[in-house]
């Protein structure tokens, strides 16, 4: 999983603090997310792309905020290893993002 590999790189190799590493990982894995979701996952047409793009980034900004907050809770407060926390959150965010993108970001008809 790309997010776990990046977390290992940032933290273990580059010694970047885990909250900053979580943010960097988020930016890296979402670089092509809009295009992939638009064309592969949801297959929407081009006429509403601006609205979809704004909605996509709004959802992903909420995702980043929630991910960083939950990483803090899981690692600092619950003392769960950062890789286990990151893997769990990747799965949770995948489910949440799919539902929100399907029902709002890439809703048919813009």
Residue 109 confidence (pLDDT): 65
What are the tens digits of pLDDT across the range 1-26? 788 999 999 999 999 999 999 989 98
User: What DSSP designation does 101 have?
Assistant: I
Residue 110 confidence (pLDDT): 58
Residue 28 confidence (pLDDT): 85
Looking at residues 29-57, what average pLDDT do you find? 88
Sequence-distant contacts of 19-25: CB under 8 A, at least 24 apart: 19/68, 19/71, 19/72, 22/67, 22/68, 22/71, 22/86, 23/64, 23/68, 25/86
Tell me, yes or no, if the pTM score tops 0.75: no
């Amino acid at each position: 999983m790309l997010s776990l590999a990046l977390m290992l790189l940032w933290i273990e190799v580059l010694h970047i603090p885990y909250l900053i590493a979580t943010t960097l990982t988020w930016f890296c894995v979402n670089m092509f997310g809009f295009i992939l979701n638009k064309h592969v996952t949801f297959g929407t047409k081009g006429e509403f792309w601006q609205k979809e793009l704004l909605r996509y980034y709004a959802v992903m900004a909420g995702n980043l905020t929630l991910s960083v907050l939950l990483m803090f809770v899981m690692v600092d407060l619950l003392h769960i290893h950062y890789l286990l926390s990151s893997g769990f959150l990747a799965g949770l965010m995948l489910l949440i993002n799919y539902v929100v993108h399907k029902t709002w970001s890439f809703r048919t008809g813009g």
